[in-house]
Each structure stands twice: as C-alpha cells, then as structure tokens.
Structure 1
Amino acid sequence: MKPECIGDSVKLNGKTYPCTVSLTMDLVGGKWKAVILYHLKDGEKRYNELRKEMPAVTEMTLSIQLKQLEKDGLVSKKVLGQKPPLKTIYSLTDLGYSFVPVLNAITTWGNQVAHAQGSFE
C-alpha cells in the first residue's frame, strides 16, 4: 500500500482529505500560495515588499492568500507598532520552511520545462 493511502482518509485542522496529495494541494495549491512561499523562503518580508515582487497579484488576492497560509500554519505574521501606519512582517514558520525543498524542486522543474518547450521574456 502506498504511504498516502495508509487509511481511508487523512484529517488535518478539522478537514478530511482522501490522501496526503490532496491535503498538500489544499495547503499550497492554487496560483499564488506557492509563489508567496517562494518569496518568503529567503527571509521575512513586509506586505508591500511582497506586492512589489509579485506585481500581477491583486491586493485582495495577496491578502486572502496570506491569511489562509497563516491560518494553515505555513506563514507567520508579526505586527509592529501601536498606531498607524503599522508595520506588518510575514515570514515562514517551521512548517513553511519544511516546504522549501519542494519549492526548489518545483522551480527547477519549471525552468527545465520553460527552456525545453517555452521561453523566458
């Protein structure tokens, strides 16, 4: 039996998944979650730094995805200051850092596909 199929399902944070692949994709899947994690892998960033590094993402989407990553325990948020403008800093948690080797593999694979079948512009 494959490791991801040890039981009939996997439970995490009140959700039930059919397998660990499904669980992983719920945590990091979608268009922006892995990209956010990639930009945080080398250290903490302020919200505006992330926005500048990902100009194609809308503010609403970035905000929603950061909240979801924080809720799922992959990203931590630190708010500094007591009156506006507050300084908000995001960083990877230990769980988030444990995903970095997967991010590196995804990046390497994406570069190989782009070189072989696409182009960089």
Structure 2
Amino acid sequence: MKHCLVVDDSAVIRKVARRILEELSFSSAEAENGRDALDQCSKSMPDAVLLDWNMPVMDGISFLVALRKERGGNQPKVILCTTENDVEHIARAIKAGANEYIMKPFDRDIIEAKFHEVGLI
C-alpha cells in the first residue's frame, strides 16, 4: 500500500484529504506544518505528499526545497495544494520541485486525476 503524507494547517482539510486517500487505497499520515512534515519524512519517506502552500512555522515551498535536499527526498511525488492560482506561483512551485499543483477546494476526482498523472495510481 502506498503512503501519502498530508501537510496542511487546517485539521478539516487534513481529514477530508485522508478520507479521499483511504478511498484510493493509500495509507496516510498528517502534519500541520512543514517542519513537522520534514521530521516525519526524515524517519520514513512517503510515496506522496499532498502539501499546502501557506502554513505557519514552515510553509510549503520551504518544506519542498528542504525535502528535495534530504536523502531520498527526490522520490516522493509532491502535489502542492493551495488557493494561490496565478502563473507566477505555479512556476515557483514547479521550480521548487512540485510534481503537480491543485487548487483548493479539491475533491476526490481532482486528487485521483493528479495522482494518476504523476504515476501514483
């Protein structure tokens, strides 16, 4: 079973994402900011990361840059999930190492399509 780390400061978003991931046969874990997520990744690298952009302590882009420098950090497929939708933000996310980008609010169809695009399902 593939494992996805859901990183978002909103408990509601994490809960919704986990429910969708379970329906897609993923195991999942949660982190409420990039620092907690990086700590979890250093212990066990996930197959995927569903990552919020705007969070306290460490934002999504800072986490992504740090993740990609970690041993094995180039392996997880990272889908940045945010309300930021201009071309500049998308380009910045891809340059930092995001594999895909989705807008909030999201639903099962959107997550399933993006996970399929990056080869997770």
The interval holding the TM-score normalised by the smaller chain is under 0.3
**Quick check: which has more Rg, 1 or 2?**
1
Higher helix share: 1
Q: Which has the higher strand share?
A: 2
